[in-house]
Amino acid sequence: MQLINVQDEKRRQRITTGNLWQTILILSIPLAIYETFNYLYAFIDLWLISGINTNFVTSVIFIDELRLAVTAFGGSIAAAGSVIVARHFGSNDIDLAKKSAAQAILLAVIVSFAIILAMVSFGTSILQFFGATTEIIKSGLSYFNVQMITTGLVAFNAVFIGIEKAKGNTKVILYANIAVMLLKLILSIVWVKQFGGGLFELSLSSMIAQLMLSLIGFYMLVIYKKNSLKLEISNFKIERSFMKEVFILAIPVFLGKFLFNMGKVFINGIALMYHYYVVAALGISSKIFGFFAAVANVFHETEMSVVAQNIGYKRLDRAIKAFYVAFTYAAVVSIAGLIISWFIRQPMLGLLGTFDTEQRHVILEIYNYEQFSLVFSALISAISGLFIGFKKTKVVFWINIIRVVFLRLPVLWVMYTFLPDKNFTDVGFVMLFSNSLTTLIAGAIVIRYIYTLKTYGYQNLTYQKLT
């Protein structure tokens, strides 16, 4: 059996025996810094796009929802793989952790590239099916194609990051991604500002940056000798039992995220019938409070690994407490962000671009509703983190389905079809309605589940508070 190295063992001991408030905060800080850079480059991209043409913003936001739906598979494999790896890591079974990590990489890459082939081959038809206008297709098709190709790199990178999270090694994620984000920012600004590039060049800069991260990930996973989960070429052979475990755990998360983002694409199609700038307004609103949303959502990333490792270490009490800690941090950060964002919304809007009076009015009206998704999304993510850590991914699937398929899409369609006054603020109201009600439903589900864990235990574990 392979032994764990000294640094990784220190991280494992901190997660399984240390102060959880400190542990989750320490592990989350590098991820928060990473998300800050991620937010900055998305913010600057939007600023660059609006500087080219404010109408391009709609094209990018519309296409990005499709991109997020495709990348949901890589993200789901990463989440499933990290939970399985973390469990084996927590129980100090390094050989099983390595096998699970290799199968997660194989599964993510194979399926992602199959999806890419289909998306690029039928790009125009897919965009038309989801309600994209002629202007969106004309200005954004090349952007769409490059972004779809990039999702293959993103899938591999997501699994690499998930494996490092499973070990509690969030610092390497921070350092690697800072380098990648800086490269992306430099390429984007130079191409657009110095050479007059457009959407295609912006997407190309993202592809190059993700390729750099893939090379870093390959080095860390296959070449770096101090990595406890260093993989050999022989590990990359299909082993059905391990791949099946990852696949079964990932599918509900993937379907939930995929349908959630597909639902948003359909909603964008309806929103365009209300007003040509509503889709852009939704995206711009999320950028105004996006920094706080990014930071608030990192806690569930840490939470999944901490929960899974403590289950592997046979500490059910610490696994449950990790949820309480992550939920509290997410609530505090998101509520503080909601308040701060309200006071800086006007200057932030000015930073994002030069909008005419009508566009500015639409954005601020939508923001009045959309701002609350900052809090609701953070709380839903923290709840989802607990269920993923316990391998209850079907619950996460239903939370996503309830949020969009039941509470958002049909409600908006009914309002558009039957209400006489078709006001674009109806779109904002539906967002607020679905987010708030889903949070209440998810809260009720998690309270019931924790009661069940404390009463009946989990698998072969019983709930005991140990010092």
Cβ atoms 237, 228 nearer than 8 A: no
With left for phi above 0 and alpha for psi between -120 and 50, is residue 314 left, alpha or beta?
Answer: left
The dihedrals phi and psi of 458, each to the nearest 5 degrees, come to -140, 120
Q: Give me the pLDDT at residue 380, please.
A: 95
Q: Specify the amino acid at residue 403.
A: R
Cβ atoms 379, 439 nearer than 8 A: yes
Q: Give me the pLDDT at residue 351, please.
A: 78
Q: Give me the pLDDT at residue 374, please.
A: 94
The predicted-structure confidence for 96-122, as pLDDT tens digits, reads as follows 888 888 888 888 888 888 888 888 888
Euclidean distance between CA atoms 135 and 140, whole angstroms: 8
Q: Give me the pLDDT at residue 41, please.
A: 65
Cβ atoms 306, 16 nearer than 8 A: no
Cβ atoms 297, 378 nearer than 8 A: yes
What is the token pair recorded at 11?
Answer: 């991280």
CA-based nearest residue to 289, from 249, 235, 327, 345: 345
CB atoms within 10 A of CB 262: 19
DSSP-derived secondary structure for 6-75: HHHHHHHHHHHHS-HHHHHHHHHHHHHHHHHHHHHHHHHHHHHHHHH-TTHHHHHHHHHHHHHHHHHHHH
Angle of helix 56-90 versus helix 134-166 axis, rounded to 10: 20
pLDDT in tens, the chain (467 residues): 455 677 777 878 888 888 999 999 988 888 787 777 767 766 777 677 766 665 667 777 777 777 777 777 777 877 787 888 887 777 778 888 888 888 888 888 888 888 888 888 888 888 888 777 777 788 778 888 888 888 888 888 888 888 887 777 778 877 887 888 888 888 888 877 777 777 778 788 888 988 998 899 889 888 888 888 888 877 778 777 777 888 888 888 878 777 777 777 788 888 888 887 888 888 888 888 888 998 998 898 889 889 988 888 888 999 999 999 999 999 999 999 999 999 999 988 887 777 888 889 988 999 999 999 999 999 999 999 999 889 898 999 999 889 988 998 899 889 988 888 888 889 989 999 999 999 999 999 999 999 999 998 888 888 776 55
For 190, which DSSP code?
Answer: I
Q: Give me the pLDDT at residue 432, please.
A: 94
Euclidean distance between CA atoms 291 and 277, whole angstroms: 23
Q: Give me the pLDDT at residue 204, please.
A: 86
- Measured CA to CA in angstroms, residue 54 lies from 138, 144, 307, 389 at distances of 15, 18, 44, 42
Q: Give me the pLDDT at residue 343, please.
A: 94
